[in-house]
Amino acid sequence: MSPLPNAGKPRSGISSLWKNIRRDRQLLILFIPCIVFYALFRYGPIYGLIIAFKDYSVYEGILGSKWVGLEHFRRFFDSPDFWLLFKNTFLLGLFTLLWAFPFPIIFAVLLNEVRNIKFKKTVQTFSYLPAFLSVVIVCSMVIDFLSPTNGLINTALKAMGFEGIYFLAAPEWFRTVFISSEIWQHMGYEAIIYLAAIAGIDPTLYEAAKVDGAKRWHMMRYITLPSIMPTILILFIIKSGSVFRIGYEKVLLLYNPMTYEVADVFSTYVYRKGLLETNYSYASAVGLFEASIALVMLLISNAISKKAGGKGLW
């Protein structure tokens, strides 16, 4: 008996896709709200970027506004604000990456070495709490701690015989205050990823190291850190792409005209020009430039990772 003509042939792509959809229909239904959210609030607003190339008027609408091409970009690049914003954004992002990125790793590795379970859970709980507070609350606490009159820090300085410092009005202290608050707010929460990676390490590696006479420091250095290095590398690539993406909320709540020279970044500049001065087209051009720089940084860090022998993000 001769075989059927279609016997042994792979199922067509459309029929296979439809079969998978029918099989996973419950999961896909649950995924619909996520798709709608990203379509409406992430990809839909991309259409509005066209106003960066127009002289946007609220009364004429996006399509009815006059097309001006790269005029807003040229005006921004020629303004004295450009290099100041570029320098402030880059330095604030770079210093945040260099100082804030290692702390969750160190915290997770040290916490993993704690053998008192009750103490370990208590420390974990308190380290997570700042991440669940809003930026407004965190900045309010920072302002209270650094108050020149009755703040905790200045009270301690005066008790030791030093003069009080008005931290939030001193340009040389702004970056230190910003980075310190970032470390305090995100260290515990970001350490969860590294603790999960550490939990996946084969325990027999530690047992073999103990048999060979390795101390705790040697096991941390030669087993724990190398085992979580892929996780560290991937998160570093993601963080590197965000060097130019400084959120406006914390900077806006902590800075003032006295610290503009070191604190004003692209996002706060967009806020002032777009929402306060209603210069929507110019603000959109600045925001688009910031997003483009962030994308370039992400591509560069991914390429460097691959050159160094890593897998990169894609």
The pLDDT tens digits of the residues spanning 103-119 come to 999 999 999 888 888 99
Query: Is 8 or 271 the better-scoring residue by pLDDT?
Result: 271
H or E element, residue 230: helix 225-240
Q: Please report, as a single letter, which amino acid is at residue 220.
A: M
Structure letter (DSSP) for residue 4 = P
Q: What is the pLDDT of residue 1?
A: 47
Q: What is the pLDDT of residue 176?
A: 93
Q: What is the pLDDT of residue 70?
A: 92
pLDDT tens digits, residue range 166-222?
A: 898 999 999 999 999 999 999 999 999 999 999 999 989 988 988 888 888 889 989
The secondary structure of the chain in percent helix, strand, coil, rounded to multiples of 5, reads: 75, 0, 20
State phi, psi for 147 to the nearest 5 degrees.
Answer: -55, 135
What are the distances in angstroms from CA 266 to CA 112, 116, 127, 154, 248? Answer: 39, 46, 30, 31, 8
Residue percentage of the chain with pLDDT more than 70: 93
Cα–Cα distance measured from residue 206 to residue 276, given in angstroms and rounded to the nearest whole number: 58
Asked if 164 contacts 148 with a C-beta cutoff of 8 angstroms, the reply is: yes
pTM (global) more than 0.85: no
